[in-house]
Structure 1
Amino acid sequence: MTEHYIKIKAVDLNNNCPECYSKEGLKLTFKQKFIETNFYKKITSDIKYEMDCLTCNTHIYPVKWTEDIERVFEYHKRGFNPKQASTHFKKATWLAITSGVFIALCITAVIIYSVL
């Protein structure tokens, strides 16, 4: 089972970086959790937010966010529409379900035939 986050939206911000004070290079990224197994693919409602400065190559943690960055983050968060949580079954799942139903029908037929 593999779990990873897919990037849904990335926004360039005009705020000053709390580390290098550059007004360019601050990027806010919205990511959503994606799970894939042999039987299904699933998009969850788990959202992750990341902020990086491309000028000084630093990950900006929420503890270091200024009030201005917080306001801009809340603004973009309200405008962010994540993908709807969903599950997609793969062929292996459908094969297992249909073969299980077929085996159950065969067993039921044998039991009914032996009782009569």
Structure 2
Amino acid sequence: MSKEKLVVLKEANITNNCPECFNQDMKITFKQKHKYGKLYDRTTNEVTHTIKCNTCESIIYPVNWTEDIERIFNYYKKMVEPEKASIRFTSLFYILVVSLLVVIGVGIYLWQSGVILF
């Protein structure tokens, strides 16, 4: 039901050698997961990363990292500031809560006045 979206936190070009094609044109991207539902929007603590070579279009997995790539990754990882994990309720949620409170209030009023007998 809820949709997941990865929001880019930081994106940077790095000039390390690609382990696949040995060119110096790579990009590192950090993304944070957000979940969107009908009643709430939730920001999670989950942060993902990818390193991609712009020349050969290959994704560089941690198994293939050199010491230089790992050093650059750790540097940028410290610079990334993810949003706090939070939940924001949508207007539909507030409309449902207010409607429920009104129905309960009317029910109690009618019961107190003697119109409804249980």
Q: Normalising to structure 1: TM-score of the pair?
A: 0.91
Report if aligned partners of 2:12, 2:29 keep a CA contact under 8 Å in 1. yes
Partner residue in 1 for 2:31: 31
Aligned residue runs from structure 1 range 89-108, under 5 A: 89-108=89-108
Single out whichever of 67-76 and 106-115 deviates more from structure 2. Answer: 106-115
- Listed one character per residue, the Cα deviations across residues 17-74 of structure 1 (whole Å, up to 9, x for unaligned) are 1111112x21100000011111222221110011100011101111111111111111
Q: Quote the Cα distance in structure 2 between the aligned partners of 1:47 and 1:28.
A: 13
For 1:96 and 1:64, locate their aligned partners in 2 and report how far apart those are by CA, in whole Å.
51
Paired residue secondary structure (1:59): coil
SS in 2 for 1:21: coil
Which secondary structure does the structure 1 equivalent of 2:102 belong to? helix
| TM-fit CA distance, 1:112 | 2.3
The 3-state SS of whatever aligns with 1:77 is helix
Choose 37-46 or 94-103, whichever is displaced more. 37-46
Instruction: Show CA shifts across 1:58-104 (max 9, x none).
Output: 01111111111111111111111112222221111110000011111
- Which AA in structure 2 matches 1:39? L
Q: 1:7 corresponds to which residue? A: 8
Unaligned 5+ segments in structure 1 are: none
Greater mean alpha carbon deviation, residues 73-82 or residues 84-93: 84-93
Three-state SS of the structure 2 residue aligned to 1:58 is coil
Is the Cα–Cα contact under 8 Å of residues 7 and 32 in structure 2 kept in the other structure?
Answer: yes
Normalized against structure 2, the TM-score is what? 0.89
C-alpha separation between the residues in 1 aligned to 2:48 and 2:30? 6
Q: What value does the CA root-mean-square deviation take over the aligned residues? A: 1.3
Identity of aligned residues (%): 33
Letter in 2 for 1:22: N
- 1:79 corresponds to which residue? 79
